[in-house]
Amino acid sequence: MAITTINPTILKRAQAWLNDINIDNETKARISLMIENDPSEVAESFYCDLEFGTGGLRGIMGDGTNRMNKYTVGMATQGLANYLKTEFAGKGAISIAIAHDSRNNSSYFAKTSAEVLSANGITVYLFENLRPTPELSFAVRHLHCQSGIVITASHNPKEYNGYKVYWDDGAQLVPPHDKNVIFEVQKIASIGEVNFEGDPSKIFMIGEEIDQEFLRVSKSYSLAPEVIAPQKDMKIVFTPLHGTGITLVPQALRNFGFENIHIVEEQAVSDGNFPTIVSPNPEEKAAMQMALDKARVINADLVLATDPDADRIGVGVKDLDGNYILLNGNQTAALLTYYLIKQWQAKDKLKGDEYIVKTIVTSELVSNIAKSAGVEYYDCLTGFKWIAEVIRNFEGKKTFIGGGEESYGFMIGDFVRDKDAVTACCIFAECAAWAGSKGKSLYELLLDIYLEYGLYKENLVNVVKKGMSGQAEIKAMMEGFRANPPIEIAGSKVLLMNDYQLRLSTEISSGKITPIELPKSDVLQFFLADGTKISMRPSGTEPKIKFYFSVRADLDKVENFKNVETKLDSRIEEIIVSMGLR
């Protein structure tokens, strides 16, 4: 229902911006029109402050306290600057690297951040143009910066933008720095506390020199160049979905030795309006359709895609009938894990201290592949900052092979400390060449994995709760499951409940409780007697709650794949319906 009158408290917040001498006249004019013509938009724009969470900012662009704009970005940056100056006091000069994606206003927000930081005496290394998020993570480490910022809303719709903060190891913020930065940002009570007057002498433009160093190190992770050379003409279709992937992925593939790369030219144009797609998300078939169409025309061997900031990878392959299908994030992670471990074994690189990391909502297929090879694996909370924390904890003690999550992210080696679709694209192409050297397609390789480890099938249901009431509704859903956990779901007994908010694992039948060692997080998991795993968590970046479903069955021969897959799909649907999500 549209709002016809403005809540007095919200109106007062909007009028405060109109009366603030630090707000420019153009912004004030737009707010005045909003008050006159669009009460609903006033309510959404001013009912709260855009929250600076553990991952930074993410929100719809526009005017107001609950929007991404110069002032909310400036206040966040001033808080970050204050924390950096406190944390590194007496430890020499402070520097920070900044990158941005192709979204509308990304360059403007990046420059705004650079100006605020330089005004606070901090040296800024600002990328001259759009660059992938993994390159920002690399630049922080390569330039020995104390922090980093990337302006991106990842794969969100075009109305959104975001602001992610990195620490000196090139990883996103984790405790204690995440909460400490949030505290400093919250202390910025007014826009007048932000110093927007930048110091040009402290801003240095960076670009090609970092590109070349990134590409050099990325190429060093190639494990089987000998299988690429005979298949250098393998047909690869690539789309950057109007984002930053175009700056590095084609060149990186060529560096690996692949020569027959076909770019979806319509989507190679960097454009924050994403004109050829509704949503720039490689998880969605609609976003990948142009690449799949091009693949059919040229009979491509592999389809690759990156999201706007090139940290997520999308993959398309041919099935046994010659139809192009999209792999989901769990399948991509499983194939990459399998390939990496097989090559480490073949090259006699496994010395006993290697490990793989996955997130708790990612398929257990990944961990089973690692276990079968005698490689350690670790579970962590959702988000690559937690994978990076595992790497940091084992620095100099153990060797990280790779790690991934179901949401289309993977990281190979530790030179980048965030998901890296640039290197993942190259290693995936190398995996395809390796499969080809054995007379197999990537799809056939995936089927081999299912024959060996079982057929795993996953699904994700997003329950969206927008607006002012959405957060309360999501909280109520989580509290309901937490307070009254189900005894059985779709006819299968619940054996175990993991509550990462309370950090407790409970055996349902006996009531036995075991502590969970991972950090606190608002996530619930149920493990059923039939092997099903159900996870639920509120999104940290969007107004929705996510339900993850994973089921498994043995696969005795390839001919039975479709029948077993159909049964697993039916089982997932049965579970979803029983939980009231359909």
Domain ranges of the chain: 1-47, 49-212, 233-453, 456-578
C-alpha 20/C-alpha 65 separation (Å) is 13
Q: For 456-578, which CATH class?
A: alpha beta
For residue range 339-395, what is the model confidence (pLDDT) as tens digits? 999 999 999 999 999 999 999 999 999 999 999 999 999 999 999 999 999 999 999
Confidence check: pLDDT of 2 > 60: no
Tokens of 105: 């206003």
Contact 91, 80 (CB under 8 A): no
The domain covering 233-453 belongs, at the CATH homologous superfamily level, to Alpha-D-Glucose-1,6-Bisphosphate, subunit A, domain 3 (3.40.120.10)
Q: Decide if pLDDT at 542 tops 80.
A: no
Tokens of 510: 């006996």
| 323, burial (CB in 10 Å: exposed 0-12, middle 13-18, buried 19+) | exposed
Residue 473 confidence (pLDDT): 85
| Bond before 543 cis per omega within 30 degrees | no
CA distances from 201 to 124, 198, 293 (A): 10, 9, 49
pLDDT tops 90 at residue 106: yes
Cβ count within 10 A of residue 439: 7
pLDDT band at 541 (very low <50, low <70, confident <90, very high): low
Angle between helices 442-453 and 329-346 (to 10 degrees): 90
Cα separation, 289 vs 282, in Å, equals 10
Q: Do domains 49-212 and 233-453 have the same CATH topology?
A: yes
The rounded Cα 417 to chain-centroid distance in angstroms is: 12
| Best CATH choice for the domain 49-212 from the list 3.40.50.1860, 3.40.120.10, 3.40.920.10, 3.20.20.140 | 3.40.120.10
Share of the chain above pLDDT 90, in %: 92
Query: Judging by DSSP bridges, how do beta strands 455-464 and 95-100 pair with one another?
Result: unpaired
Q: Is the pLDDT of residue 286 over 70?
A: yes
H-type helices in 322-363, by residue range?
Answer: 329-346
377 vs 40, 79, 349, CA distance in Å?
Answer: 49, 37, 17
User: Which H/E stretch holds residue 316?
Assistant: strand 313-318
- Judge whether 154 counts as a catalytic residue: yes
469 pLDDT band (50/70/90 cuts)?
confident
Average pLDDT over residues 164-173: 97
Burial 180-207 (b: 16+ CB within 10 A, else e): ebbebbeebeebeebbeebbeebbeebe
**Mean pLDDT calculated for residue range 189-200:** 96
Considering 107, 147, 154, 270, which one is annotated as catalytic? 154
Q: Which residue type occupies 189?
A: A
Distance CA 419, CA 410 (A): 5
